[in-house]
Amino acid sequence: MSRHASNPVLRPSLLGLNLEELTNLAVEAGQPSYRGQQLFDAVYRQRVETLDSISTLPAQYRTQLAEEGWRVGVPTVERKFVSNDGTVRYLIELADGETVETVWMPEGDGGERGDGSDAGEETERPSSGSAQNQEAWRRATICVSSQVGCAVNCKFCFTALLGVKRNLEAGEIVGQVVAVLRDQGVQPPMQRVNLVFMGMGEPFLNYDNFMKAVRLLAAGLSIPESRMTVSTAGIVPRIYDFGQEALRPKLAISLNGSNDALRGEVMPLNRKWNLEALMKAAREFPLRARERLTFEYVLLEGVNDSPEQAREVAELVRGVRVKVNLIALNPGAELPFHTPAEEQVVAFQKILVAAGIPTFVRRPRGRDIFAACGQLKRTVEIAPAP
């Protein structure tokens, strides 16, 4: 199986295998093929922690799996940071000791409700009392990582400072969600959960594993793909591939610059896929009924936040069914940029809104624990807290 080949140190994990692969596994072991479905249900629906707790399987087959080296393979929560806004940042340890971060946002991320009804409530504050919890549930969002580190090198992002160590396996992507749901005691689909693939890494540089994870999360964990959003820095060929997928999350593209000179400065990958290529892919992207493409735009003071640049953005996205999420930079001493003032952000938003583009300002989530966009892993590897 490919995961052994790619990572011989790891004991093989059931998490990450789809129904067909689990069925083959069972049949090769001389078991009836329906054991595949039993394994699938145990791993993804019941989300068992150990082989031993797969009570639908005969004890002898459980022992055999263990002897062959199989494990369920849910990654472990190594550390947990809780923000005063309710956001929880999980440091998740993988089987080879590498770590990634996954973020639980009880009220969503302030810019994506993930259910297609986005508009209008981004600046709303939750009310107090039990109604708040009820409402919070309906908006909970998990921000999922796709790689250990990142290779894209955006100048305003902390993850870029780590470089890329490796791709995550599909099971490690699904495993982050399983670990967080377990810790939060949440059971989809009874309790609604949105997923955003906006954590560490560039999902479209780990495309096959990412897409396999999406299919497992939809089929196994019952999280509909309509409640998932993937964000790409703009890996243009994969945007075309993604448009052809029968089952796919919604698409967000990190824009962050209104012309090639500017975007190339903050996102060097623009030199490989410039705005003309990116916007062509965006215009040709096969949107579904009522679906919009999201453009994310990190505002950097005095760099890309002027009224003129707002008008350039409006011009750029003209003719594409989009919405724009503005994110004021989540700052840090290691970054050569500053956060613009609130008025500057609002002025930028107004210009886009006046041009007929639905534009929202994302509230930063968990900034105090460095769980906000671009900050993941900062305290662990870049600037460890005392």
- State in angstroms the smallest separation of the CB of 242 from ligand SAH: 13
- State in angstroms the smallest separation of the CB of 269 from ligand SAH: 9
**12, 106, 249, 374: which one binds ligand SAH (CB under 6 A):** 374
User: Residues 284 to 323: which contact ligand SAH by CB under 6 A?
Assistant: 296, 298
SS3 of residue 111 by DSSP: coil
In the bound state with ligand SAH, the residue whose beta carbon lies nearer, of 73 and 149, is: 149
Establish whether 373 is a catalytic residue: yes
Q: Which two tokens stand for residue 296?
A: 């994310």
User: Residues 74 to 93: which contact ligand SAH by CB under 6 A?
Assistant: none
- State in angstroms the smallest separation of the CB of 8 from ligand SAH: 28
List 101, 107, 169, 296, catalytic entry:
101
Cα 362 from Cα 297, distance rounded (Å): 10
End-to-end CA distance of the chain: 43
Q: Which two tokens stand for residue 199?
A: 């954590």
Under rule CB under 6 A, residue 15 binds ligand SAH = no
CA distances from 312 to 87, 90, 94, 236 (A): 34, 38, 43, 21
Strand-by-strand arrangement of the 250-254 sheet: 76-82, 88-93, 99-105, 141-143, 194-197, 228-232, 250-254, 293-299, 322-328, 359-361
SS3 of residue 369 by DSSP: helix
Q: What are 221-224's contacts with CB under 8 Å, separation 24+?
A: 221/44, 221/45, 221/174, 221/177, 221/178, 221/181, 221/188, 222/45, 222/188, 222/189, 223/177, 223/188, 223/189, 223/193, 223/195, 224/189
User: Residues 182 to 201: which contact ligand SAH by CB under 6 A?
Assistant: 198
In the bound state with ligand SAH, the residue whose beta carbon lies nearer, of 170 and 327, is: 327
Under rule CB under 6 A, residue 329 binds ligand SAH = yes
CA distances from 320 to 114, 133, 215 (A): 19, 36, 27
β-bridge partners, 299? 328
Q: Give the x-and-dash track for 151-170 against ligand SAH (CB under 6 A).
A: -x---xx-------------
- State in angstroms the smallest separation of the CB of 44 from ligand SAH: 25
User: Residues 226 to 265: which contact ligand SAH by CB under 6 A?
Assistant: 231-233, 254, 256
Q: Give the x-and-dash track for 201-220 against ligand SAH (CB under 6 A).
A: -x------------------
The dihedrals phi and psi of 178, each to the nearest 5 degrees, come to: -60, -45
- State in angstroms the smallest separation of the CB of 176 from ligand SAH: 14
List 143, 150, 157, 373, catalytic entry:
373
Establish whether 342 is a catalytic residue: no
Residue sitting closest to ligand SAH (CB): 374
In the bound state with ligand SAH, the residue whose beta carbon lies nearer, of 38 and 159, is: 159
- State in angstroms the smallest separation of the CB of 373 from ligand SAH: 3
- State in angstroms the smallest separation of the CB of 304 from ligand SAH: 11
Under rule CB under 6 A, residue 269 binds ligand SAH = no
Q: For ligand SAH, how many residues bind (rule: CB under 6 A)?
A: 17
317: buried, middle or exposed (CB in 10 Å: 19+, 13-18, 0-12)? buried
Cα 238 from Cα 254, distance rounded (Å): 14
In the bound state with ligand SAH, the residue whose beta carbon lies nearer, of 15 and 233, is: 233
Q: Could you list the beta-strand ranges (E) of 150-284.
A: 164-167, 194-197, 228-232, 250-254
In the bound state with ligand SAH, the residue whose beta carbon lies nearer, of 14 and 253, is: 253
In the bound state with ligand SAH, the residue whose beta carbon lies nearer, of 104 and 156, is: 156
Q: Which residues are catalytic?
A: 101, 373
Binding site for ligand SAH (CB under 6 A): 152, 156-157, 198, 202, 231-233, 254, 256, 296, 298, 327, 329-330, 373-374
